[in-house]
Amino acid sequence: MKEIDKNNKSFEDIKHVDENGIEFWYARELQLVLNYKEWRKFENVINKAKESCTNSDISAFDHFVDIDKMVQIGSGAERKQKDYKLTRYACYLIAQNGDSRKKVIALAQTYFAVQTRKQEISEKEYTLLTEDEKRFYQRNLTKKGNYSLNQTAKKAGVKNFDKFHNSGYKGLYNGETADDIAKRKGLRYREDILDNMGSDELIANLFRISQTEQKLKKDNIQSEKEANKTHYNIGKNIREVIAKNGGTMPEDLPTPKKSLKQLEKENKKSLKKE
């Protein structure tokens, strides 16, 4: 168990989170944890994993992102080094295509399979979750949704993303911007409003996010002005549906006593004590 725990910790230690809250791993760092000494051999495994991804009718480009890093080679000189930004699913495929004789590969296969499964949940399982667990689950979906929406909005010509996202909030929250929502909730400067929402409020925002992305794609919107207008209208439409069904408006839903960041810190502290 010690060895498994040690390697699980290693996989988590090399995990990164981008500005949109999306987790990823660098291939060069994963190479070391999986005990591959030569990049050439490890890249062969990556290519097999990408092939597996494509064969499953999933875009490899979305899970294996080519990047170039500048690394020092001595005397202050630098050179480009090829690397990849990997999703959790990409790491899982790499582990599946790795050298099964390596014990750490078997551990990686188990680790990434279990962690990938944790991102999925059935309706029955969802009903058994506590409110805070539902919040964590919905927050994870909004992070992924916002990341995907940002990519689509960028293709539609959006450059000012603050204005774009505020357009959606204004529609859903009867004219309130993200800052207005934060002030109403009594949050500190730059504290994430989505981390301070209950599960129902997160679900309303997730619906706004997903519907806006679909609309941008379906209508092939190609201007920032139209993208902002679309986001506003989707938010407003969702608000009207809530009103028609006699639901509680998002601004009237209670703000949880603790943010998800606070709950995360408390969970980490309790795990350390255990």
pLDDT at 135: 92
The band of 8, judged by pLDDT with boundaries at 50, 70 and 90, is very low
259/266 Cα distance (integer angstroms): 11
- Rounded mean pLDDT, 131-158: 92
Asked if pLDDT for residue 121 goes beyond 50, the answer is: yes
**pLDDT top residue among 21 and 43:** 43
CB 61, CB 86: distance < 8 Å = no
Highest mean pLDDT among 16-30, 61-75, 164-178, 238-252: 164-178
CB 199, CB 206: distance < 8 Å = no
Task: Label residue 127 exposed, middle or buried (CB < 10 Å: 0-12, 13-18, 19+).
Answer: exposed
- Structure tokens that stand for 12 in this block: 């988590």
Structural domain boundaries in the chain? 2-117, 125-261
**pLDDT top residue among 181 and 129:** 181
Asked if pLDDT for residue 25 goes beyond 60, the answer is: yes
β-partners of residue 77 are 74
pLDDT at 125: 72
75/63 Cα distance (integer angstroms): 35
- Structure tokens that stand for 241 in this block: 């549906």
pLDDT digits (tens, 9 = 90+) for 201-257: 999 999 999 999 999 999 999 999 999 999 999 999 999 989 988 899 999 999 999
- Rounded mean pLDDT, 62-91: 84
pLDDT at 225: 97
Residue with tokens 């606070």: 262
259/167 Cα distance (integer angstroms): 24
The band of 123, judged by pLDDT with boundaries at 50, 70 and 90, is low
Residue 259: what residue type? S
Highest mean pLDDT among 116-130, 132-146, 166-180: 166-180
CB 174, CB 236: distance < 8 Å = no
Cα end-to-end span (Å), the chain? 15
Highest mean pLDDT among 3-7, 33-37, 56-60, 263-267: 33-37
